[in-house]
Structure 1
């Protein structure tokens, strides 16, 4: 049976509150995390692969805190959480905020921390065959590439860098390419990238990294969009993995590069789509500016993908409950 992330041995940083009370500085996080990650405990983090009862209790507490009526079984609660999912065609950055009190928000964040959606997660070993950098907005991909670069400087090694990206048209209000290129000391590309794949290619050229890392074989998995129900749907994590598998990669060890709150969901999807691979996760911390609906959407998405592997859970019929493209 597949065991959902965070896996046994994964190290997380306890206590989200201290990070939320100062202005977020990604370099400061990198330095602090890399120095202390091996010393940190995962005692307060749920490992649902072994402790479904604890997952059930935590979800029950979360749903109760948000005043959402639900049945007491894990399967039922997973179904209930799907109310938090984005609408078809809606992106994460388009989700509105949730108007709740500060005390209630703090309690919800404590529970999300316990579920493993806030703190960073570091790699468990130093040698991998692949680094799988998952697509995102251009700033998100830059943060992930910066994170991977810092891990390289700390001794983590991999043989190939795979960008799992696609033909999502870039969005000016979310991708901020003009800001990214102005910060670079290198010559700005002309014209600017139009798709997520093109942005990944640009970032690989512009982001500073050690020469040995820059010289590694790199692949950009340019996954096409899908036309369904009268709309173009951008490729999702699962789509990009399926597209890469068509090229026939040899099974091996793979380090998934993501950031919270999406890391555990994406690791679960990678595990499902790459049987025979040994999957690990390195995820940066959740941005303090992340609003609660984004956390809840990520949680619901992870639980949906986890449900088929929960003992005794009934799989929904694909024809009736298949999540629309771009949402998983």
Structure 2
């Protein structure tokens, strides 16, 4: 790798940690050079053009324009290159790799609640295997929070009313601090936790030791029936409602002529705001469940509907 030839570059604890550090060093160096140039010119002009100094002060425009154009253009090129570099690092962090694990994270005052798809639950901690990307599907139950793991060079806001996705991966086993980086109330400073990166065999053992009686999909199926969703979306229902089997990940034509993909966000919005995106060929009869289901119940419903993806309608 070309980065290894840079004397002060070190690989980070995540696949992109070293690039983030190197980008920060580049921004710091470029900003320091610009600042140093400005301070030098300021001191030079203060001394050269001080009162009483017999220096030529006439025709100053023709004498300095090429210098001004030169350093302005050089600064613009440097910062544009840094922007392109930063954009490439950003896209690398938010890529969607193959074979990733999915974990749900619910932020609330003042704790992080983690739900694995197998039903394992954690409070203020997240266990994950090393060298295996994990997709965090995050939601806030109350106010804006921010999922911040300094060691992995990751920070992402968690906004109420919508899902946020974040890819996370660690290359070294260990315990890493988790903070909320957005002021969220009185006990904001106490909203801390840890990321526990483990070897794959240890992670598999941890999952097995923490396995509950039911998975999230099974609990979501129970809620699906409890809230009466099966009365409309069931195979034998008399109500003309869209089938959910095989829905997840497929394109959905809408009544307004547009097409959306049935992802986590679409399922969530269809439960809370069913009239915002009405499927083509169906009437907007479904009531809103906003305020009737909690974030914990909502994620179980989403996982259950996702589990129907392999079932043919």
**TM (normalized to structure 2)?**
0.21
Between Structure 1 and Structure 2, whose CA radius of gyration is higher?
2
Whichever structure has more strand as a proportion of its residues is 2
TM-score normalized with structure 1 length: 0.20
Greater length-normalized contact order (CA 8 Å, ≥ 6 residues apart) = 1
